[in-house]
Amino acid sequence: DEATSSVDTETERLIQDGIDAALADRTAFVIAHRLSTIRSADLILVIDSGRIVEQGNHTSLMRSGGHYAQLYSKQFVSEREHEELERRVP
């Protein structure tokens, strides 16, 4: 997902749509730093210090309130704040 690390959310969505289409009906391992890129995955594995500490889909992991939910929430707020600042700067 490094290809999406420096693009705006609309461009990221277009890239993600292309990836989703390419991976339809296939098994793929996606290593993601930007968690929005794996939101639609059937199964997400959260790895900490080499161990799987959580697994599930986005909804179940968010409901559990664990490590994934905390990271996702922080990242989502951070990205929204960054976009808001970009809109304000002329």
Instruction: Classify 79 as helix, strand or coil.
Output: helix
Each of the 90 residues of the chain gets a pLDDT tens digit; together they read: 466 667 777 888 888 888 889 888 888 888 887 788 888 899 999 999 999 999 999 999 999 999 999 999 888 876 665 556 556 665
* 56 phi/psi in degrees, rounded to 5: 155, -175
**CATH number 3.40.50.300 given to 2-88:** yes
* 68 phi/psi in degrees, rounded to 5: -60, -50
Domain residues of the chain, as ranges? 2-88
